[in-house]
Chains A and B, each alone.
Chain A
């Protein structure tokens, strides 16, 4: 077969394309790099400046308030354990990366998802792109991040955003599209503008679904931030990565448990935010 059809040099095209993009966008990427780098460092420094016991108290109290006593206690115990095994610093930087990456992913994902809900053409285009993004092995996103942003936290955030944005887009679109058509008709029949319909009817009704998307995005972001340790993201993933290189299973597991604890806290808390209470508001 090789003698009949020459091999398509797709890899070479992608590389030259990326190389061109890197130089063409160097101004933009450098600005993003500087901005995000400062943001991440600022947040990590700030969280580290707060004494661990106080931060644990704040997290636990927040979790209690949002998700109930059980989750509050679980958060306190889990975070105390992390502090005890000496993983406080890496945990703080992992949480910072996850929160920043999620904020960016939701910031872009929400409007894109709304576009996909309101416009059929956008919907048709988005679907295969999102399928592609979600089936591509996560590691692959790490490679182009490096020429764009260099080794470190900014590259980690970039690849994390790409990897974790599909659920929030998908579920925003789904949440809006699955609203009972009579409700949309009701909004129209009273003479709503498109914006009134979106903000007074569609977004509020889609909110539980959208929050499920945000929850998934956070979970994906956490998993990607751990993987991004390979390109110097540090944090809990960095601890795991170091344990692999030194063949220290004990250390690796302890860091892994740290990831699980962070994941459980983020999951339980964000799940609860998605559930809206509808009762008598006395």
Chain B
């Protein structure tokens, strides 16, 4: 874990983010409702509060100087309570609401400068939008609803029916095409809404509180499903929510908004561990850390380790120096995990005068987890094993170890942070 990242600034990207392409770039966007936006903007820039601007000029500040980039293929969650301006902001991105000031570049083209025809073309090509109340057309069948975007584009009947059926299949509603939205449950309706957005094969999915109207269980299913769909599609997703748990679960990065202003931008982990303001830290207080923290967050450095070429005596010595009753064995070249050796076995091997460790290494009994495994899934594994749990990446390299104490320790540490 790197502790060096500052709270507000985005984390210095260590995971290859610098070579990710910026899909949408939002720069200094304001939305001011009312007759004298210039004056209102000047007032907020001078630090006058939103309420005072309203009472003095009659202008409502919807979005106050928002700037951030959305990378290609990421899920960016904009999160805030009602009135925070998040829904206004997402509508500025496809100009359902005209931004008052600022620029919004989509693939390098500033869409605030486009005329009506150009804007329509961009909306057709690049965006698919999903709405909180589903916004399905009740007079059309499910299939016709999903076809809607293609119908608008003038795609011929046969092609768009195929595309609609494909999209319905993708969201798990194959065979429901002939029904009407009124025949469907809330969760199914939103699947149709998602299918409608996917049918036009957009670069960017705009999801405005898409799951907020659903029951908790169905909502959780939809979240999982969107995440797994995203694994296949790699769309750029701008996701709006008022629910922090949802934001933490869905977001590659989170933009936290309050009163039209951006409070913090960062990864879920970054926002939890380094809240940029009093507001954010109060907000993140009630988070269930077992869902948020992963193996990578709670693991300890795996030192010492024994190498395959080490004999039992060397291994025993390493254990003795660190007060361990067992040690992980890795290949020296690349730290690929070979297994685990307990002190008892090492002693036996030493008596037999073994030269290598591989005879006594327990390969199968060694419990492993991936770095991104949530802590709540690690508890049972830790409980069942006497030996520490190894954290390994896809190439079986040993990244760290988890012992019982380290999980609880990490959790209680977070709890302390929140009480400050």
Contacts and interface: CB of A to CB of B under 8 A. Distances in A.
Indicate, yes or no, whether A interacts with B. Answer: yes
A190 B178 contact: no
B183 A183 contact: no
Contact of A201 (B121, B127, B137): B137
A207 B151 CA distance: 21
Interface in A158-206: 180, 182-183, 185-193, 196, 200-201, 204-205
B206 interface: yes
B53 to A, nearest CB: 25
Contacts of B138: 205, 278
Interface string B161-181: 000000000000000001110
Interface stretch (B128-136, B220-228, B247-255, B289-297): B128-136
Contact of B149 (A182, A190, A193, A201): A190
Nearest to A204: B139
Interface residues of B, number: 31
B139 A278 contact: yes
A182 B96 CA distance: 10
B412 interface: no
A51 B272 CA distance: 85
A55 B141 CA distance: 38
B180 A190 contact: no
Contacts of A131: none
A116 B138 CA distance: 24
B124 interface: yes
B406 interface: no
Interface string A259-282: 000000000000000001011111
Contact of B132 (A182, A187, A190, A278): A182
Nearest to B127: A189
B152 A205 contact: no
B182 to A, nearest CB: 5
A204 to B, nearest CB: 5
B200 interface: yes
Contacts of B127: 189
B94 interface: yes
A185 B134 CA distance: 11
B137 to A, nearest CB: 6
Interface residues of A, number: 24
A280 B131 contact: no
A279 B128 CA distance: 27
A190 B152 contact: yes
Contacts of A188: 96, 123
A280 B152 contact: no
B359 interface: no
Secondary structure at the A interface, as helix, strand, loop or mixed, is: helix
Given A180-B133, A280-B179, A205 B139 contact: yes
Contacts of B123: 188-191
A44 to B, nearest CB: 37
B153 interface: yes
Nearest to A208: B139
Given A186-B129, A190-B123, A191-B124, A281 B96 contact: no
A205 B145 CA distance: 14
Secondary structure at the B interface, as helix, strand, loop or mixed, is: mixed
B239 interface: no
B148 interface: yes
Given A204-B139, A280-B179, A280-B180, A186 B131 contact: yes
B120 interface: yes
B131 A282 contact: no
B148 A190 contact: yes
A189 B128 CA distance: 7
Contacts of A193: 120
A194 to B, nearest CB: 9
Contacts of A281: 141, 178, 180
A198 to B, nearest CB: 13
Interface in A203-220: 204-205, 207
Contacts of B206: 189
Interface in B177-203: 178-180, 182-183, 200
Nearest to B153: A191
Contact of B135 (A180, A207, A276, A282): A180
B177 to A, nearest CB: 11
A186 B135 contact: yes
Contacts of A186: 129, 131, 135, 148
Contacts of B179: 280
Q: Which of A186, A190, A200 has the most CB of B within 10 A?
A: A190
Interface in A229-282: 276, 278-282
A264 to B, nearest CB: 29
A190 B137 contact: no
A192 B152 contact: yes
B259 to A, nearest CB: 23
A204 B121 contact: no
B176 to A, nearest CB: 10
B115 to A, nearest CB: 13
Nearest to A189: B129
A186 B139 CA distance: 15
Contacts of A280: 178-180, 183
A7 B58 CA distance: 46
Interface of A: 180, 182-183, 185-193, 196, 200-201, 204-205, 207, 276, 278-282
14 contacts: A182-B132, A182-B133, A183-B135, A186-B135, A187-B148, A189-B96, A189-B123, A189-B129, A189-B206, A191-B124, A191-B152, A204-B137, A279-B183, A282-B178
Given A204-B137, A280-B180, 9 more contacts: A185-B96, A185-B135, A186-B148, A189-B129, A204-B139, A205-B137, A279-B183, A280-B183, A281-B141
The 7 closest A-B pairs by CB, nearest first: A191-B124, A191-B123, A189-B129, A186-B135, A182-B135, A190-B149, A191-B120
